[in-house]
Amino acid sequence: MTITSGENRICSISELAPPQAVLFDVDGTLCDSDPLHLYSFSEMLVEIGFNGGVPITEQFFMETIAGKHNEDIATALFPDDHERGLKFCDEKEERFRKLAKENLVPIKGLYKVKKWIEDHKLKRAAVTNAPRENAELMISLLGLTDFFDLVIVGSECDHPKPYPDPYLKAIEILNVSKDHTFIFEDSVSGIKAGVAAGMPVAGLTTRNPEEMLQQANPTLLIKDYEDPKLWAALEELDKKTVTSN
C-alpha cells in the first residue's frame, strides 16, 4: 500500500529499509483516550451552558476537537473570547488527567509492536498536540517512559499538527532520515502532519471513521496493532531490509 507524500513521491513502509525510527502520536494512538476527552469536554460545556446546555455529540467532538491543538479548540469553542477558551481548555485538561489515572487503556497489540521495535533497535519518539503534562502522564501510565527517546509537543514547535513541524523536529533530534522512518497516527490532523513531513503513516481507526482518515492519505489504515495488514507490511519491510544488507 502506498501514498503520495508531501514531496509528491510514492512511499510505502517497505521502502524504508533499513528502518531507523518509529514515531507515535499519543492520544488515540497509544491509548484509547478520546472517550475521556469527550466526557470531560461534554460535562464541562454543559456546566457553562454551551449549545444551550445540550451535550455535544461524538460527531461534533471528532470534527471540532479530536486531534487538534488547544489553541485551535479554544478558537472553535469560544470564537469571541479566546482567552476564556484557553482557560477552559486548561481546566478541562486537569479533569482529563484525573480520569486518565483510573481509566486509561492501551490500544490492543501496543506491547506487541513495542517489542518488534525494541527487537529491531529502532529509535522512537512520541509526537503529540497534547499538553506535555498530559502526554507524559499517559506515557507513564502505559509504562512507556523508558521506551521513548523523547517526547515532542506541538506547542513547543513553530507550528503544531497538521503542520509537519513536530515530526520534522523529532527526526532532527533523533538524527534519523525521514526516508527510513514511519509514523503511527489516529487523526486527520496527525496523518496530514506526517504526510506533509514526507513519511509513511499508518493510521489507526481507533475512533475516527475510515472514510474520514482516508482523506488525509495514510499509507495504510489498521484497526489496532494486531491488525494483519500491519504485520504484513512489517514482514515486507523485514524482507527488504535483509535483501538490502
User: Quick one: 90 and 150 in the same domain?
Assistant: no
Catalytic site residue 179? no
Which is the catalytic residue, given 27, 34, 165, 186? 27
Where in the sequence is the domain holding 79, given as residue range(s)?
A: 34-103
Provide the 10 A C-beta neighbour count for residue 5.
Answer: 20
Counting the structural domains of the chain, the total is 2
Instruction: Kindly report the CATH number assigned to the domain that includes residue 240.
Output: 3.40.50.1000
User: Quick one: 83 and 193 in the same domain?
Assistant: no
Do the beta carbons of residue 127 and residue 166 sit within 8 Å? Answer: yes
User: Quick one: 64 and 168 in the same domain?
Assistant: no
User: Quick one: 120 and 206 in the same domain?
Assistant: yes
User: Quick one: 47 and 112 in the same domain?
Assistant: no
CA atoms within 13 A on the CB side of 19: 28
User: Quick one: 131 and 44 in the same domain?
Assistant: no
Catalytic site residue 25? yes
User: Quick one: 87 and 208 in the same domain?
Assistant: no
User: Quick one: 88 and 110 in the same domain?
Assistant: no
User: Quick one: 147 and 225 in the same domain?
Assistant: yes
Do the beta carbons of residue 56 and residue 41 sit within 8 Å? Answer: yes
Model confidence, pTM: 0.87
Please identify which residue in the block is written with the cell numbers 523508558. Answer: 146
pLDDT tens for the chain, 245 residues long, are 333 333 434 368 999 999 999 999 999 999 999 899 999 999 999 999 998 999 999 899 988 998 788 999 999 999 999 999 999 999 999 999 999 999 999 999 999 999 999 999 999 999 999 999 999 999 999 999 999 999 999 999 999 999 999 999 999 999 999 999 999 999 999 999 999 999 999 999 998 889 999 999 999 999 999 999 999 999 999 999 998 76
CA 130, CA 135: separation in Å to the nearest integer?
6
